[in-house]
Amino acid sequence: MPYREMERVGGRPRPEFWWNAPPSDVSRKVFDHAEQLESDQRGMYQRFLDYAVLYDPHDRMGYYDSIDSDTDSYVADNVVQSAVDTAASIIAKSRPRIAVNTDGGDWSTQRRAKWVEKYLECLFKATDFYAKAQEVFLDACVFGTGVLKVTPDHGGKRIKVERVLIDEILVDQNECRGREPRHLHQRRIVDRERLIAEYPEHEALICDADDAGDRPERRVR
């Protein structure tokens, strides 16, 4: 695979992973790995698109170039959507709170625990955590897996919580059979102007980058 170039050492092939590559080659090897992985597992990503259309016949997950006219027919009773929405309304509407256990703690520890609980409650509200968690639950019902991404925003000195479509996640299924994967990647479609505004020093590279339409074709069936 592109992220492992076989290098002969002492007459035996040794796999060279992207994280062992020179700093100048890391980005190229990561992109090569991601493209090869998406191509090798295109059947799985095709199923994600099929699942999305089963839930909503007009949902293409960003693939607008491969729409069959037959899929635009009117659906009188969508059993899949009805079952998923019912499960989401019953299960995902609850808003569990985090409790800090202080069994055996003194008064100072208990007071600190109360402040931590208040902080977490405010953090959940500030990040709109519960609403995004409900969306992720819906994704899990439709695709089998939902992803909630929690990252630090160092510039804003805050925590960011965002829903990520499983279609954006790239991970080698063979690598994580029975164990945690060593690495996974996220790729998403981003507007050029937005990237240029965020990284003005790389404007030339962003303008020369391939279009999102160059991804492997998937068709609605």
For 28-53, how does the pLDDT look when each residue is reduced to its tens digit (9 = 90+)?
Answer: 888 888 888 888 898 998 999 899 98
Q: In terms of pLDDT, which residue wins out, 212 or 42? A: 42
Whether residues 27 and 107 fall in one domain: no
- The pLDDT value recorded for residue 3 is 44
Does 127 score more than 90 pLDDT? yes
Does 200 score more than 80 pLDDT? yes
Does 68 score more than 90 pLDDT? no
Does 114 score more than 80 pLDDT? yes
Whether residues 182 and 166 fall in one domain: no
46 assigned to some structural domain? no
Whether residues 154 and 183 fall in one domain: no
Whether residues 81 and 122 fall in one domain: yes
Burial class (CB in 10 A: 0-12, 13-18, 19+), 154: exposed
86 assigned to some structural domain? yes
- The pLDDT value recorded for residue 101 is 86
Whether residues 91 and 193 fall in one domain: no
Q: Which two three-digit tokens encode residue 139?
A: 């994704």
The fraction of the chain above a pLDDT of 70, given in percent, is 81
Whether residues 149 and 203 fall in one domain: no
Please report which confidence band the pLDDT of residue 78 belongs to, taking 50, 70 and 90 as the band edges.
Answer: confident
**DSSP result, 29-44:** HHHHHHHHHHHHTHHH
Give me the domain span that covers residue 142: 56-67+76-170
Does 95 score more than 50 pLDDT? yes
Torsion from C-alpha of 70, 73, 75, 80, nearest 10 degrees: 30
48 assigned to some structural domain? no
* Choice among 102-106, 134-138, 192-196 with the minimum mean pLDDT: 102-106
Total structural domains within the chain: 3
**Average pLDDT, stretch 82-104?**
88
Whether residues 149 and 101 fall in one domain: yes
47 assigned to some structural domain? no
